[in-house]
Amino acid sequence: MAKSNLPTISVSVKKNEKLPDNKLWKNRFEIRSESSDRVYIVSQNIDKGHMGCSCPGWRRYRTCKHLSALGLPGHEVPVTLNINYKQ
């Protein structure tokens, strides 16, 4: 699928939750667990364009409630992501 034909999804993230890109992931930000005091990292794979999460659910099933809560697809579906960083 050509990148221009990818679905575009917009999310709002607090500025203080933004993280720097690395070799494999871009558009990185923190998301807090609602059921514990854990903090997970949601990010977009640079090469494939899909979203990922550092939680155990995503690592095992390639989908998780954190992505769902943000309206992001799991199962390594590539997307175009627009992030609105707010105060």
Domain count, the chain: 1
Query: What is the token pair recorded at 76?
Result: 């390594």
> Is 86 a domain residue?
no
Q: Are 32 and 54 in contact (CB under 8 A)?
A: no
Complete edge-to-edge strand list for the sheet that includes strand 39-45: 25-32, 39-45, 51-53
Outline where DSSP puts E strands in the chain.
8-14, 25-32, 39-45, 51-53, 80-86
> Is 32 a domain residue?
yes
Express each pLDDT in 29-45 by its tens digit: 999 988 899 999 999 99
Summary mean pLDDT of the chain: 93
* Residues of the chain under the 70 pLDDT cut: 1-4
> Is 87 a domain residue?
no
pTM of the prediction? 0.90
